[in-house]
């Protein structure tokens, strides 16, 4: 999500104003002018369901990640859905977490040891901040037209490259064709 704003900045162009751009320009980070990403919150999705939030508080070295649900991985103990080849992210295919699974990924990057209200006195405060951020984020989402609709997946020959490598005849360079024909 950060590639688009970075490339737009490198090209010297403005970002579009007709939509929300979640990404940030990475150049200050890549050039070493800053050590931290501009992203305070990152939102993780399982298919199109928001399942986790990552929070890097500006005044802390902690990086918190809260999972509201996780897919039921298969086989058990795996880190993916190998029996179905894709994780299904709803209903009986997920484990809901009440309270959310919370990790400090600055200390536990493999997310192996969830933090609990008994091990972290600020547990509820941290989770509340992350829930509010998730709520604000979901309020910004807008419907997107179905990109796989029949009108979008039908072949449109007028949009194809004129001289493709597919072996189709090429009618692009009429001057070159005329020169070949006169030989």
Lowest mean pLDDT: which of 21-30, 44-53, 67-76, 153-162? 153-162
pLDDT-based confidence at 108, cuts 50/70/90?
A: very high
The boundaries of the domain holding residue 100 are 40-140
For residues 162 and 170, the answer to whether their CB atoms sit within 8 Å is yes
Domain count, the chain: 2
Spatial distance between the Cα atoms of 99 and 28, rounded to a whole number of angstroms: 37
Statement to judge: residues 10 and 83 lie in one domain:
no
Statement to judge: residues 23 and 49 lie in one domain:
no
Statement to judge: residues 28 and 103 lie in one domain:
no
Statement to judge: residues 5 and 80 lie in one domain:
no
Statement to judge: residues 72 and 88 lie in one domain:
yes
Spatial distance between the Cα atoms of 173 and 176, rounded to a whole number of angstroms: 5
Statement to judge: residues 100 and 60 lie in one domain:
yes
- The residue assigned the tokens 């979640």 is 22
- The answer, as to whether pTM is greater than 0.95, is no
* 14-63 residue pLDDT tens: 999 888 888 899 999 899 998 877 889 999 999 889 999 999 998 888 99
Statement to judge: residues 46 and 81 lie in one domain:
yes
Statement to judge: residues 49 and 135 lie in one domain:
yes
Statement to judge: residues 29 and 48 lie in one domain:
no
3-state SS record for 93-150:
HEEEEEEEEEEECCCCCCCCCCECCCCCCCHHHHHHHHHHHHHHHHHHCCCCCCCCCH
What does the pLDDT read at residue 81? 84
What does the pLDDT read at residue 152? 83
What does the pLDDT read at residue 83? 81
Lowest mean pLDDT: which of 55-64, 81-90, 104-113? 81-90
Statement to judge: residues 55 and 84 lie in one domain:
yes
Residue 165 has pLDDT above 70, yes or no: no
Cis peptide before 6 (omega within 30 of 0): no
What does the pLDDT read at residue 63? 94
For residues 4 and 21, the answer to whether their CB atoms sit within 8 Å is yes
Statement to judge: residues 85 and 32 lie in one domain:
no
Structure tokens at 160: 């194809």
User: Is residue 108 assigned to a domain?
Assistant: yes
Q: CATH code at 51?
A: 3.30.1120.10
């Amino acid at each position: 999500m950060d590639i688009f704003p970075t490339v737009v900045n490198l090209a010297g162009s403005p970002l579009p104003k007709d939509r929300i751009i979640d990404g940030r320009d990475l150049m200050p980070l890549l050039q070493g002018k800053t050590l931290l990403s501009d992203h305070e919150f990152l939102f993780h999705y399982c298919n199109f369901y928001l399942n986790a939030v990552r929070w890097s508080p500006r005044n802390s070295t902690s990086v918190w990640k809260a999972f509201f649900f996780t897919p039921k991985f298969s086989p058990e103990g795996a880190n993916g859905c190998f029996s179905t080849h894709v994780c299904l992210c709803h209903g009986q295919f997920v484990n809901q977490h009440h309270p959310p699974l919370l990790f400090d990924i600055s200390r536990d990057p493999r997310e192996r040891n969830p933090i609990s209200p008994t091990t972290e006195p600020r547990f509820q405060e941290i989770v509340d901040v992350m829930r509010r951020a998730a709520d604000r984020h979901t309020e910004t989402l807008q419907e997107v037209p179905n990109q796989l609709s029949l009108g979008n997946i039908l072949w449109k020959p007028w949009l194809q490259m004129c001289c493709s490598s597919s072996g189709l005849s090429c009618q692009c360079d009429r001057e070159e064709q005329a020169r070949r024909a006169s030989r």
